[in-house]
Amino acid sequence: MTENTARQPQGIPTGGQFAATTHAEPYVTLESRKTPVAEPDAASILAGNQDFVSLRYVAYDDRLTEEQMTMILAGQWTAAENDVDENFSDSAYDEAVTVAKAELEAAVEAGSFDREWDDLDHDEQDEARRAVEERDDSDPVQGLLRNTPDQLMRTSLGAPEPLLKDRAAASGHHLDDGGFEARKKAISDLLEASGMDTSADAVQEEIGALVNEGPFDWHEGVQLDVIWYGALEDAVPTPRGESAETDGSKVLEFATPHVLLIDKWNGSGHEVILPAPLKRTLTRVGYDEAEAPQTGRAYLDSDSGGYGWDSVAGVYKPAYKDAAPAASWST
């Protein structure tokens, strides 16, 4: 007798599909496997918001520091931006967290997310904060520039002492035996190198005053500078952003320049107003390059590498406003 190998459990009648004793097997439908839909995370919720945010708020009384102004006048925009960002880093961090909390709360209320800020772990909070920071369009450097008032600045025409053909003229004791004229010639040469016509009697008279009233002894620390009170942006040698309007080099044109002969080592000096125009072209440098020498850039009077004229003479800075140059980019 052949053993029955039907699939029904033992004891259940079996037969052909039309047999009276047939019991149909249960019909089972297997569910197809579906790829689970990933729940949105906090960072993606915040990154999906296309609205820009401003995380670095510049108050009305915020100003550039002297160090930052020095960087900008040297054309070192990257260094200035990094320094400003560092100063704003704590407040920007806090503001990013505040924005993230508010936007997640709005997402929860809208039903597009089911967890608030405090429900996230530390890593999720960091990712969410960074997603907000990616939308930051604030420009604190521009805001600080706008708030920073005019500054007392100088640019150097050079040191006159190396131009003396008679080395004895460097000593003030030799002014009466040829030193006076030799010094006038050295100063005139520096002025003429910047395009000034020094032939007029009025100009020569003021040059003579620089010799008589200026530093007694000349050396490498004695220099001839133009000094004025004006906006920082007019004196930057390198634009912050490239454009057709800012190609070339920055040119400063002084109609009636205030010219200062100063000993940076001891502070002695004298200043005159010359009734003749003068032009200086600043050295354009890359954002991360070293600053140009003082003959190729403008710099703060308080950051001259020695005595500043204001620290010596206690000047009224706005009086130098009329000496500010017309600034343009050469083509």
Tens of pLDDT along the chain (331 residues) come to 445 444 445 544 544 444 455 555 555 555 555 555 456 789 998 988 889 999 999 999 999 999 999 999 999 999 999 999 999 999 999 999 999 999 999 999 988 888 989 999 999 999 999 999 999 999 999 999 999 999 999 999 999 999 999 999 999 999 999 999 999 999 999 999 999 999 999 999 999 999 999 999 999 999 999 999 999 999 999 999 877 778 899 999 999 999 999 999 999 999 999 999 999 999 999 877 889 999 999 999 999 999 999 999 999 999 999 999 999 999 7
Residue 194 · residue 277 · CB < 8 Å: no
Single out the residue of 302, 295, 307 nearest to residue 262, CA to CA: 307
pLDDT at 246: 84
Within-domain flag for 137: yes
Within-domain flag for 3: no
pLDDT at 241: 81
Lookup: tokens for 310: 């204001």
Q: Of 122, 145, 168, which closes a domain?
A: 145
Q: Are 140 and 164 members of one domain? A: no
Within-domain flag for 13: no
Q: Of 121, 145, 169, which closes a domain?
A: 145
Strands 151-158 and 258-263: unpaired
Within-domain flag for 118: yes
Q: Are 196 and 139 members of one domain? A: no
Rounded alpha-carbon distances, angstroms, from residue 303 to 84, 122, 236, 307? 19, 45, 15, 8
pLDDT at 25: 55
Q: Of 92, 118, 145, which closes a domain?
A: 145
Q: Are 116 and 178 members of one domain? A: no
Q: Are 136 and 191 members of one domain? A: no
Q: Are 184 and 137 members of one domain? A: no
Q: Are 215 and 301 members of one domain? A: yes
Q: Which domain holds residue 55?
A: 42-145
Residue 227 · residue 301 · CB < 8 Å: yes
The CA dihedral of 100, 105, 107, 108, to the nearest 10 degrees, is 140
Within-domain flag for 314: yes
pLDDT at 28: 57
Q: Are 254 and 308 members of one domain? A: yes
pLDDT at 15: 47
Within-domain flag for 25: no
Chain mean position to CA 261: 32
pTM attached to this predicted model: 0.82
CA angle 251, 229, 260 (to 5 degrees): 80
Q: How many CA atoms lie within 13 A of 285 on its CB side?
A: 22
What total number of domains does the chain contain? 2
Label residue 306 exposed, middle or buried (CB < 10 Å: 0-12, 13-18, 19+).
Answer: middle
Lookup: tokens for 306: 């020695």
φ/ψ (deg, to 5) at 152: -80, 115
Within-domain flag for 23: no
Q: Are 169 and 304 members of one domain? A: yes
Q: Are 174 and 73 members of one domain? A: no
Within-domain flag for 173: yes
pLDDT at 18: 43
Q: Are 310 and 162 members of one domain? A: yes
Q: Are 94 and 163 members of one domain? A: no
DSSP letter at 118?
Answer: G
136 CB neighbour count, 10 Å cutoff? 16
Place of tokens 């040469």: 189
Q: Are 304 and 164 members of one domain? A: yes
